[in-house]
Amino acid sequence: MAAKQSLCQKKGENKTFPEKGEILVPWEYVEFGAGYMRIYHPSHPMNLGYDGYYIEDRRVIRAFNKIKYYLTKNIRGIKAYCEAGRIIKVLDYQSLECAVVVLQRHTLPPDFDEKKAVLHPGMVRLDYEQARRKIISKDSNYLRYLCDHHLPEYPIFFSNEVRINSNELPYDEESMIFVIKDNLNHVVIVYENALPARASIIFRVYRHQCVQALNAIHRFFASDTINKREKLQQQRIRLNGNGIIDYSHNWHTDYFEWKSRMQRYF
Give the model confidence (pLDDT) of 218-257 as tens digits.
888 888 788 888 888 887 877 777 889 999 999 998 999 9
pLDDT one-digit tens code per residue, 13-41: 447 889 999 999 999 899 988 788 999 99
Are 93 and 159 contained in the same domain?
no
Residue 125: helix, strand or coil by DSSP? coil
One domain for residues 155 and 74: no
Q: Is residue 243 part of a domain?
A: yes
- Whether residue 112 lies inside any domain: the answer is no
Distance CA 92, CA 95 (A): 6
Residue 132 and residue 70 in one domain: no
Structural domains of the chain, count: 2
In a domain, 118, yes or no: no
Total-model pTM: 0.57
Question: Of 70, 105, 140, which residue sits at a domain end?
Answer: 105
Clarify whether residues 258 and 153 are in a common domain: yes
Q: In whole angstroms, what is the distance from residue 256 CA to residue 148 CA?
A: 15
pLDDT of residue 122: 34
In a domain, 157, yes or no: yes
Is position 206 within any domain? Answer: yes
Structural domain boundaries enclosing 160: 128-265
Q: Is position 49 within any domain?
A: yes
Residues 132 and 101 in one domain: no
